[in-house]
Structure 1
Amino acid sequence: MISVTEARARILAGLSATTPETVSLAEALHRVTARPVVSRLSNPPGDVSAMDGYAVRAADAARGARLRLIGAAPAGHPFAGSVGPGETVRLFTGSLVPAGADTILIQENADAEGESVTVREAPGPGRHIRRMGQDFRAGDAVLTAGYRLSPRHIGLAAAAGHPWLTVHRRPRIVILCTGDEIALPGEPLPPGGVVSSNGAALAAFVRAAGGEPVLLPTVPDRLEAIAEAAAAAGGADMLITTGGASVGEHDLVQAGLASRGLVLDFWRIAMRPGKPLMHGRLGEVPMLGLPGNPVSALVCAILFLLPALQRLQGLPGHPPAAEPVRLGSPLPANDIREDYVRASLLVPEDGGGWIAHPYGTQDSGQISRLAAADALLVRPPFAPALAVGEMVPAIRLAPLGL
């Protein structure tokens, strides 16, 4: 068995970012930039007023001075002339500052009557003016390559004059579930059967992480059926299997894929849940074989598939971040395998940090416990027992969006 860290490193080593494509801003949310976004213009495009008020010359705007109103310049309608001695132009937030003016007299500090404006409070030079390029200038790289685009970044790209962005293509992930006992949700269960939750969960996982899932029909535990289904992975960015990766005589995924040219990299990880994880290549397609137990499959997806999807989208593919939380219930000593303990998190009434309460049972078939969990508590191999109040690393699930 190899460690979780080594397994993740070996999976990521065989992956590279998908090819770039150009999409509209409306389609760019959560995509990853494939090249820098260079601004086509300056922001603001000229000196503009930051407030409603009057464009004036500071030398003329002493308290009590009366200025002659010579025009107005609403945003989008610049004043064509210039401001001379003793003159002023009515401005609004975002209006271009006309030539000759060097400060803004805000309307709260002015009394206007007809074509005359009296200064109640003198503005200093340069007050309330946003200078051309104060935010960014034409030619500036406002976003680097490898940025996952949030709504804030979409707004920045739009302000920089880009209706289209070059991003990495969404990774196409083929998902193959196996097992004679598997029935789809809503179908009658065969004798000894179970409902397949892995296919739906993994497809949703891939979509939430930025990929494009292709969920194949479930195949029975027959070598030829598994081999035939694997042909659908051609051209995919990754093949995910679930089930059939353990050591039973009906766990046939490895043998079935071997007939299609699977080159196995590793099998079995020193972790709980998820020991029978498998990784290799099916021709040019990376393959990740997840366990059939639903909790094991999803925990392995969090630890291995999520970084892989990030790497395929042009991101580094870091492991999920862990942060220290305080135990509200004790934890026993750990054995040889790295353990990922499902737990709830609570914030105490005094407003302190997270308090973790591990679930009493950690069976890898209890999908309800994983669905209710707030975190996975990380227990290294041979970690000693921990008492209430001690700290333990936790992978919080909500920030992952999963």
Structure 2
Amino acid sequence: MRTVEEHQAVVAGLLAPLPVEEVALAAAAGRVLARDLPALVSLPGFTNSAMDGYAARHAEVGGASEDSPVRLPVVEDVPAGRSDGPPLQPGTVHRIMTGAPVPDGADVIVPVERTDAATDVVTVTGSPAAGTHLRHAGEDIRAGELAMPAGTALGAAQLGLAAAVGYATVPVRRRPRVLVLSTGSELVEPGLPLAMGQIYESNSVLLAAAVTEAGGEARTLHFVPDDVDQFLATVRAELSWADVLVTSGGVSAGAYEVVKDAFRELGTVEFGKVAMQPGGPQGAGTVDGVPVITLPGNPVSSFVSFEVFVRPALRRALGHASPDRLRTAARLTAPLRSPAGRRQFLRGRFDGAVVDQVGGPGSHLVAHLARANCLVVVPEDVTELPEGAQVAVVLIEGALQ
């Protein structure tokens, strides 16, 4: 029986880093930077005003007050975007807008609120200290400095930075193409009538959504029958598109385990058990050179297996600097039991410093899974934990409120 870490290493070893492509910023949200990104320009690119007000010399306005105002002529208007402003001459001020270039000779911006806002001769009734309200060139980042390292996940702030330092496109790793296949002759498409012994097929929906959330592109194969020849023919007809095939079901120890039967004939996929619950039966290998990861068929087992093995491997192939989910610690609100020798992944609701278990350990409890926002991790050598014990929780998204 493999440990969780051993099987994680096997799965991770199947997926090589994906090719790099340049994409427009508008299409790069959620992608992962493939190379270091140096700043093409400094930010700010020039010293500019942080306020609407008047560019002045502090030596001339620093003593202004309500009782002793200073009156100076306004000789220039400097809106944002003006590039031809002259230097500030002694005994004068320039009316200036936020973001506009500060004229040479000015060392303070007097906010408009501390003046009478005149446009010809302004009355200054107070001034901040010298250097106040100036955004100095390069104080955020200088041209040539590292703006973002490879492995950065590109969200709104990161894409805004890329644009601000001069990039129209960014190098990212291609999204992994994941073929998702769920097996079982008992499966029926949602919305159709169910006969006795049939169930609605949900794993492909669950896994395809998980692939998308992890940064991949999913394609599903539905309702492949429990027949080895048909199964292999269907799979091979689609494999040329995929970077990886993820299956659910057909890997346990019983009869009619079509995934195990078909891939064992090829001899390129290894099946076994992992010391975890849920999700013990696992398989990994290749088919026609394409990586294959086989997951158990119960929905909770399939979800947990994806979270533990497939998601980090996909994100690592995408180049994420931190491919794993965020973890934290929390206190249990109730005692729990766990089987010896198995790492338990229980569904939970994390709320600040505490975590509630959601439902029981059964791998069929999909409604409870949908209400969880974390996985509570219980080590293999722990069989009982009291109320108030501290546990590790893996934060997941998508829980019902």
User: Could you tell me how far apart the structure 2 residues matched to 1:88 and 1:202 are?
Assistant: 64
Give the aligned partner of residue 394 of structure 1: 393
2:95·2:119 contact (CA, 8 Å) conserved in 1?
no
1:200 to 205, 221, 225: 205
Instruction: Kindly indicate whether the alpha-carbon contact (under 8 Å) linking 1:239 and 1:285 is maintained by their aligned counterparts in 2.
Output: yes
Instruction: Specify the alignment match of 1:295 in structure 2.
Output: 300
Q: Tell me how far apart the structure 2 counterparts of residues 130 and 316 of structure 1 sit (CA, whole Å).
A: 32
Residue number in structure 1 paired with 2:356 = 356
- Match runs of 1:74-89 below 5 Å: 74-89=79-94
Distance of 1:188 and 1:399 partners within structure 2: 28
Is contact 2:47-2:137 (8 Å) kept? yes
Q: Which amino acid aligns with 2:318?
A: Q
- Identify which range, 219-228 or 276-285, moves more after superposition: 276-285
TM-aligned CA distance change 1:129 to 1:393, over 3 Å: same
Determine the C-alpha separation between the residues in 1 that align with 2:351 and 2:142: 47
Q: 1:262 to 1:70 in 2, by over 3 A?
A: farther
1:8 partner amino acid: Q
Tell me which residue corresponds to 1:247: 253
> Alpha carbons of 1:248 and 1:400: their partners in 2 closer, same or farther (altered >3 Å)?
same
User: Which stretch of structure 1 is more off in the superposition, 247-256 or 284-293?
Assistant: 247-256
Tell which deviates more after alignment, 110-119 or 169-178. Answer: 110-119
> What is the letter of the counterpart of residue 142 of structure 2?
R
Q: Structure 1: how far apart are the matches of 2:239 and 2:326?
A: 31
The answer as to 2:124 corresponding to 1:119 is: yes
Partner of 2:239: 233
**1:106–1:246 distance in 2 versus 1, CA, 3 Å:** same
Q: What is the deviation of 1:211?
A: 0.5
CA distance in 1, matches of 2:311, 2:161: 27
1:333 and 1:240 map into 2 onto residues whose CA distance is 28
- Normalized against structure 1, the TM-score is what? 0.92
Partner in structure 2 of residue 173 of structure 1: 178
* 2:318 maps to 1:313: yes
TM-aligned CA deviation for residue 255 of structure 1: 2.8
1:276 deviates by 0.8
Q: CA deviation at 1:79?
A: 5.0
Tell me the equivalent position of 2:95.
90
Q: Measured at CA, do residues 344 and 104 of structure 1 come closer, stay the same or move farther in structure 2, by a change above 3 Å?
A: closer
Which amino acid counterpart does residue 148 of structure 1 have in structure 2?
A: A
Local SS of the residue matching 1:217: strand
Distance across 1 between alignment mates of 2:139 and 2:324: 38
Q: 1:112 to 1:368 in 2, by over 3 A?
A: closer
Q: Residue type of the partner of 2:44?
A: P
Change (3 A) 1:400 1:323: farther
Distance 2:145 2:258 in 1: 55
Residues 308 and 317, structure 1, Cα contact 8 Å, conserved in 2: no
Contact kept, 8 Å, 1:262 with 1:281, in 2: the verdict is no
Q: Could you tell me which runs of 5 or more consecutive residues in structure 2 were left unpaired when the two chains were aligned.
A: none
How far off its partner does 1:318 sit? 4.3
For residues 200-223 of structure 1, what are the alpha-carbon distances to aligned partners after superposition, in whole Å with 9 as ceiling and x for unaligned?
Answer: 111111111110001013211111
Measure how far apart 1:400 and its partner are.
9.8
**Contact 2:32–2:319 (8 Å) recurs in 1:** yes
Distance 1:389 1:124 in 2: 54
Q: 2:109 maps to what in 1?
A: 104
186-195 or 15-24: bigger deviation: 186-195
In structure 1, the residue matched to 2:49 is 49
The letter for the 1-side match of 2:365 is Q
* TM-score using structure 2 length: 0.92
Partner residue in 2 for 1:378: 377
Q: Which residue of 2 aligns with 1:151?
A: 156
Of all paired residues, the percent bearing the same amino acid is 36
Look up the match of 2:2. 2
Post-superposition offset of 1:59 = 2.8
Of 185, 189, 205, the match for 2:194: 189
Runs of 4 or more, structure 1, over 6 Å off, are none
The Cα shift of 1:36 comes to 1.8
The 8 Å contact of residues 55 and 96 in structure 2, kept in 1 or not, is answered as: yes
Which AA in structure 1 matches 2:174? R
Offset at residue 375 of structure 1 (A): 2.5
Is contact 1:73–1:79 with CA below 8 Å preserved after alignment?
A: no
2-structure distance, mates of 1:206, 1:314 = 15
Query: Residue in 1 aligned with 2:365?
Result: 366
Q: Tell whether the 8 Å contact from 1:172 to 1:211 is kept in structure 2 after alignment.
A: yes
Q: Is the 8 A contact 1:303 1:320 kept in 2?
A: no
- Count of residue pairs brought into register by the alignment: 394
The residue identity in structure 2 corresponding to 1:286 is P
2:231 corresponds to which letter in structure 1? I
Compared with structure 1, are the counterparts of its residues 321 and 337 closer, same or farther at alpha carbon in structure 2 (3 Å cutoff)? Answer: same
Q: Which runs of structure 2 are paired with 1:251-262 in the superposition (5 Å)?
A: 251-259=257-265, 261=266
Where does structure 1 lack aligned partners over 5 or more consecutive residues?
Answer: 348-352
1:160 to 162, 165, 182: 165
Residue 305 of structure 1 and its aligned partner are, at CA, apart by 1.2
